[in-house]
């Protein structure tokens, strides 16, 4: 309302308006969720974040994290109150420099009431001071914070930020990041992007990381521990920083033999997906016990278990493929997960072909033949799997099968044009499955609604195989797995709750 009083032509009426108590009718609380039907409480309404500045101090011995988050945002409605998603203990919140009231609410909401209501379109600065022991906090009965013998790691999907920084936790609200972490000397702190500088003082070392391209909250990562760090540069000139826990034991060699090929693999993927969209690259393997890997932006997280069977470049291909399909272009809603997993899996199929371990068509034939029509596998709809099946194996394998079906339908020329053109269509943004279908229709000149419906949205085994190969025309009694199969099947970046 104040803005209107100051508008040209309204000055004459100002004294009259000021005599009337300012109406708060249009100022209302931001929604406690951003509107994702899979996770109604995830993210928040009423503002859009552009930048997170996180200044942290972490003590590995006790898992104590202390921090100040400075969040730059713009309001998208007249706001009387708004939420951040967060679990640690908050001691102070300031909005535009002024102390604000705050309270914990729901499973993971931090409800903030600024002293003065915030008009729509205002650039605001929110400072949150906090501390806590991340491993002691749960929401919905789980934790995404991984304690390790030498530190801790924040990496999970679809949520991990709650345990280490307050945020608008949904892929729709991407932002840039500066993450500055102080840890005891001899310990390293890793995050996304580029290490800008380090400094040491009184037994503590500070690591300053910058991720300067829009990044979804679940793709932000923090890892503290004792790491061996390797650096290099890809053929295309991207700096690479990889990190390996010093306690990987028998898996150390296989992990390095896989992740040290990150630059080569990213360059290979750029032949299919277009130029690598970020200016930093790498991977890290802390001594966690999870079974999954995750496409944390510019620097994927790998569990040591991914390398228990020997080197596994396939999992590196998967997580790096996500840098285009998942990170550069992120889901508009979590129901669009096929745009991430179907394509990251398909990239593994292309790599299998590249490594002469079975073609994409052979892998498609194998997946199709190895699940009989009454297998529950076919009841999962990759195009809208539901939150309970968001990371079901079918989203990956049937998802990649759908990609192969598209390839067979529109032919290699159009298919590879789509594969490379799509990331640029929504660069650093978000998109839905329907957007992808429309783009594939535009490139190929074909109507694809029936194909998409069959492969992504029907809870049944498609009657006709995606394959047009001879092996499907005469179905084998016992389908033979391509040589790459075992490693591909071991690569599911599923969350653990
Ligand atoms: Zn994945």
Instruction: Write the pLDDT tens digit of every residue in 205-251.
Output: 999 999 999 999 999 999 999 999 999 999 999 999 999 999 999 99
Does residue 238 sit within a domain? Answer: no
Does residue 354 sit within a domain? Answer: yes
Q: How far is the CA of 408 from the centre of ligand 1 (A)?
A: 23
Cα gap 211→278, rounded to integer Å: 9
Q: What is the pLDDT of residue 493?
A: 53
Cα gap 389→365, rounded to integer Å: 23
Does residue 379 sit within a domain? Answer: yes
Does residue 269 sit within a domain? Answer: no
> Which domain covers residue 344, as residue numbers?
330-489
Q: How far is the CA of 122 from the centre of ligand 1 (A)?
A: 37
Classify each residue of 235-246 as buried b or exposed e, where b means 16 or more C-beta atoms within 10 Å of its C-beta: eeebebbbbbbe
Number of separate domains in the chain:
1
Does residue 100 sit within a domain? Answer: no
Of the two residues 286 and 496, the one the predictor is more confident about is 286
Q: How far is the CA of 288 from the centre of ligand 1 (A)?
A: 18
Cα gap 354→296, rounded to integer Å: 25
pTM: 0.93
Does residue 296 sit within a domain? Answer: no
Q: How far is the CA of 293 from the centre of ligand 1 (A)?
A: 8
Nearest to 127, CA basis, from 68, 175, 84, 73: 68
pLDDT per residue as tens digits for the range 405-438:
999 999 999 999 999 999 999 999 999 999 999 9
Does residue 27 sit within a domain? Answer: no
Q: How far is the CA of 353 from the centre of ligand 1 (A)?
A: 19
Q: Which phi and psi (to 5°) does residue 34 adopt?
A: -85, -10
- Given a contact cutoff of 8 angstroms between Cβ atoms, the answer to whether 117 and 78 are in contact is yes
- Given a contact cutoff of 8 angstroms between Cβ atoms, the answer to whether 455 and 466 are in contact is yes
Q: How far is the CA of 290 from the centre of ligand 1 (A)?
A: 15
What order do you get walking across the sheet with 239-245 strand by strand?
Answer: 227-233, 239-245, 281-285
Q: How far is the CA of 340 from the centre of ligand 1 (A)?
A: 6
Question: pLDDT band at 201, cuts 50/70/90?
Answer: very high
Does residue 476 sit within a domain? Answer: yes
Question: pLDDT band at 470, cuts 50/70/90?
Answer: very low
Q: Which phi and psi (to 5°) does residue 370 adopt?
A: -85, -5
**Is the backbone of residue 92 left (phi > 0), alpha (psi -120 to 50) or beta?**
beta
Cα gap 258→165, rounded to integer Å: 31
Nearest to 28, CA basis, from 125, 117, 121: 117
- Given a contact cutoff of 8 angstroms between Cβ atoms, the answer to whether 171 and 216 are in contact is yes
pLDDT per residue as tens digits for the range 326-357:
999 999 999 999 999 999 999 999 999 999 99
* CATH (domain of 349): 1.10.390.10
């Amino acid at each position: 309302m104040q803005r209107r009083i100051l508008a040209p032509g309204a000055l004459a009426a100002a004294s009259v308006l000021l005599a009337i108590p300012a109406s708060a009718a249009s100022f209302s609380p931001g929604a406690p969720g951003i509107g994702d039907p899979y996770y109604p409480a995830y993210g928040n309404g009423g503002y859009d974040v552009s930048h997170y500045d996180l200044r942290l101090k972490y003590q590995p011995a006790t898992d104590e994290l202390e921090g100040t988050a400075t969040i730059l945002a713009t309001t998208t409605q007249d706001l009387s109150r708004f939420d951040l998603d967060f679990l640690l203990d908050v001691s102070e919140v300031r909005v535009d420099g002024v102390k604000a009231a705050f309270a914990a609410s729901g499973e993971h909401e931090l409800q903030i009431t600024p002293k003065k209501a915030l008009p729509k379109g205002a650039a605001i600065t929110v400072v949150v001071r906090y501390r806590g022991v991340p491993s002691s906090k749960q929401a919905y009965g789980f934790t995404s914070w991984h304690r390790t013998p030498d530190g801790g790691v924040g990496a999970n999907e679809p949520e991990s930020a709650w345990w280490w920084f307050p945020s608008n936790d949904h892929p729709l609200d991407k932002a840039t990041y500066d993450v500055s972490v102080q840890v005891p000397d001899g310990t390293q702190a890793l995050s996304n992007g580029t290490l800008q500088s380090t400094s040491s003082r009184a037994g503590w070392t500070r690591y300053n990381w910058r991720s300067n391209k829009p990044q979804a909250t679940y793709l932000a990562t923090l890892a503290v521990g004792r790491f061996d760090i390797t650096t290099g540069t890809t053929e295309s000139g991207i700096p690479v920083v990889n990190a390996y826990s010093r306690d990987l034991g028998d898996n150390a060699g296989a992990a390095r033999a896989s992740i040290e090929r990150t630059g080569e693999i990213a360059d290979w993927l750029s032949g299919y997906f277009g130029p690598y969209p970020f200016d930093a690259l790498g991977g890290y393997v802390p001594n966690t016990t999870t079974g999954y890997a995750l496409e944390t932006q510019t620097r994927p997280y790998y569990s040591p278990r991914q390398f228990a069977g020997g080197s596994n470049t396939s999992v590196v291909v998967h997580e790096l493929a996500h840098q285009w399909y998942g990170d550069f272009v992120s889901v508009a809603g979590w129901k669009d997960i096929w745009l991430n997993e179907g394509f990251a899996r398909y990239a593994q199929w292309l790599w299998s072909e590249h490594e002469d371990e079975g073609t994409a068509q052979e892998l498609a034939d194998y997946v199709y033949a190895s699940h009989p029509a009454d297998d529950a596998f076919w009841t999962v709809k990759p195009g809208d799997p539901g939150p309970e099946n968001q990371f079901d194996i079918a989203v990956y394998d049937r998802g990649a099968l759908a990609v192969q079906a598209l390839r067979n339908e529109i032919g290699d020329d159009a298919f590879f044009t789509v594969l490379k053109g799509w990331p640029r269509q929504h660069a650093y943004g978000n998109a839905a499955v329907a957007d992808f279908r429309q783009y594939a229709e535009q490139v190929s000149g074909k109507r694809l609604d029936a194909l998409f419906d069959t492969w992504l949205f029907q809870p049944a085994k498609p009657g006709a195989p995606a394959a047009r190969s001879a092996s499907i025309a005469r179905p084998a009694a016992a389908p033979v797995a391509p040589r790459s199969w075992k490693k591909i099947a071991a690569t599911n970046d599923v969350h653990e709750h």
